[in-house]
Structures are given as C-alpha cells and as structure tokens.
C-alpha cells in the first residue's frame, strides 16, 4: 500500500528523524521524501513523504493517531493519503476545447489518476465530445440577469460529487458566493504569464507590449480575479514574426501543459497552499 504523508509545522530540529522512525517502526519503506522550509522568513516547515507498507486496518488507524500526536507536539498538522484513491474532478469549460480534450485524454490514458465527475458548460458545443467519453455533460447557459440562478445550479451539479473543480478555459468569473459555497479548491488556467496581462485579451496585450516570451499560468481561483496562488507556469519564445493569432496558437499548447501539470501535482498531493503562494514538490 503506497501512502503519502503531508506535514506542516513550525521549523525545528528532529522533524525528519521523528517521522522517518515512525514509518520505519510501522514497517514502511520510504520511496521519496521532500522538504521545504520558509526559514528565515517565518520558520514554517513542509514535508511530503511517500512510502510503501502492508498494514492491517487496525495498524493503519494506530499509525494515523501516532502521526497526529507527533504533529500536535510539533505545533502543526499532518494528513495521510492512500495513493490508490482517485480524486473526483469536475471540469468547467465554455467553447475552447483544447484544455478539455487534453485533460480527458490524460485521464483516459491513465496519465492522470482521477475520475471526471462531470463537465459543466455555458455552451452546448462540447456536449458530443464529453458524452463520447461516457461523462455527464451539464449545460448551464448564463447571462448577467441569470448568473445567480446559474451558479446555484452549477453548485448543485458539482458540490457533492467532486473533490475539486478545474476551470479549463471557462470564460466566466466565479462569484465569491460560488467559491464559498463550493468550499473546495478550484484550479484555473489563465492564458498569460501572471502577474502580467490579467483579464481579457492577454495575447493582444502581450503583442502590443512586444514581449519576448509568452506564458500560461495555472493557479487557484480566489475572489480576486487572476490573483490566486500560482501552481504551474509554462513559457515559449516569441518571434518578431509572430502576430496575435500565432501567439494564441503557441499559447494553447502552453495552456494544456500548465493545466495538466497543475492538476497532476494536485491529485498527487504535491501542492501545499501558503498564503498567496504555493509549495509544489517535484
């Protein structure tokens, strides 16, 4: 049984030795261990340990309790995950299909160990693509007058059946009420290298500024537009010959890569939120 341990606590001596001994005493074999400390900016410590073991059910419970007790003694918190568990992912999309196609392919190919709970869209055009994979497609059209009603239906469609939500070029701004009501992580892909070129038409903005690289940014959605903690970014060079349409073509590939890498890191429990930043273990 492969297990992932995530620890967050104030930085201090002996943390790695303490948990390594716990895992060893439980018969576990550590496969990977990653650590990060914010010292001297505040002295917070983060650790992700992946290990194999073959516990009986009662041993699992005892080990989890030991981990909790040690974390409390360190002034922090710990979480344990079974690496075999598949997270349930809901996807929101509008009319651009490239990120959606990439995510569905990676799930189908086993590259992303997740289940797609449903796909929600404010347009009908992608229904055949989604239903061809045997996935429920939920069409929820929206305009300014119906936004509150549409978001209520959106919440009903995803809240109880997904562990997180991915905005795969969903060209609507999720309201504060929606984000609070959902209460789980929402990952968005923005078609620029944030914090530059926020909002609409970032490729046009980039072209007009004569940038030498363009990028795409996967980040957690927050009430502040395009301000959420960044998970992944990808960039590509810009040629003097590139017009706006060529930038968009390059950008689509970057968006696919950045979003897929962010989702993979998230479902592998390699992402820890830290205020306006993230710690992403390799």
List where CATH 3.30.70.260 sits in the chain: 2-82
| CATH topology (fold) of 2-82 | Alpha-Beta Plaits (3.30.70)
Name, in order, each residue with C-beta under 8 angstroms of 258's C-beta and a sequence gap of 6 or more: 189, 215, 216, 217, 218, 232, 233, 234
List where CATH 3.40.50.170 sits in the chain: 87-280
Give me the pLDDT at residue 127, please. 98
| The one catalytic residue among 11, 102, 226, 242 | 226
> Can you tell me the distance from the alpha carbon of 207 to that of 245, in angstroms, rounded to the nearest whole number?
10
> Can you tell me the distance from the alpha carbon of 266 to that of 262, in angstroms, rounded to the nearest whole number?
6
Give me the pLDDT at residue 208, please. 81
Q: Is the pTM of this model over 0.85?
A: yes
Give me the pLDDT at residue 88, please. 98
Q: Under a CB-based contact definition with an 8 Å cutoff, are residues 220 and 188 in contact?
A: yes
Give me the pLDDT at residue 196, please. 66
Q: Under a CB-based contact definition with an 8 Å cutoff, are residues 233 and 216 in contact?
A: yes
**Which residues of the chain are modeled with pLDDT < 70?**
41-42, 194-199
Give me the pLDDT at residue 194, please. 65
| CATH topology (fold) of 87-280 | Rossmann fold (3.40.50)
Give me the pLDDT at residue 234, please. 93
Give me the pLDDT at residue 163, please. 98
Q: Under a CB-based contact definition with an 8 Å cutoff, are residues 6 and 35 in contact?
A: no
> Can you tell me the distance from the alpha carbon of 4 to that of 139, in angstroms, rounded to the nearest whole number?
36
- 226 flagged as catalytic: yes
């Amino acid at each position: 049984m492969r297990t992932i341990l995530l620890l967050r606590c104030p930085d201090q001596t002996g943390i790695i030795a303490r948990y390594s001994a716990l895992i060893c005493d439980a018969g576990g074999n550590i496969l990977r261990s990653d650590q990060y400390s914010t010292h001297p900016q505040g002295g917070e410590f983060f650790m992700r340990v992946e290990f194999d073991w073959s516990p009986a059910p009662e041993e699992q419970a005892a080990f989890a309790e030991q981990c909790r007790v040690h974390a409390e003694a360190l002034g922090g918190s710990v979480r344990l995950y079974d690496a075999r568990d598949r997270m349930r992912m809901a996807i929101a999309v509008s009319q651009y299909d490239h990120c959606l196609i990439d995510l569905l392919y990676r799930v189908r190919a086993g590259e992303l160990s997740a289940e797609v709970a449903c796909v929600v869209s404010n347009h009908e055009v992608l229904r055949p693509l989604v239903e061809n994979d045997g996935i429920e497609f939920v069409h929820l059209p929206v305009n300014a007058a119906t936004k509150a009603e549409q978001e209520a239906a959106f919440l009903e469609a995803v809240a109880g059946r997904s562990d997180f939500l991915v905005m795969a070029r969903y060209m609507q701004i999720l309201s504060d009420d929606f984000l609070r009501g959902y209460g789980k992580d929402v990952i968005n892909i923005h078609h620029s290298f944030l914090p530059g070129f926020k909002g609409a038409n970032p490729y046009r903005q980039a072209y007009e500024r004569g940038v030498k690289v363009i990028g795409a940014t996967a980040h957690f959605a927050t009430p502040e537009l395009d301000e959420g903690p960044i998970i992944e970014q990808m960039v590509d060079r810009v040629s003097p010959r590139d017009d706006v349409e060529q930038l968009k073509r390059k950008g689509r590939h970057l968006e696919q890569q950045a979003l897929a890498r962010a989702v993979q890191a998230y479902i592998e429990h390699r992402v820890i939120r830290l205020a306006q930043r993230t710690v992403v273990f390799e």
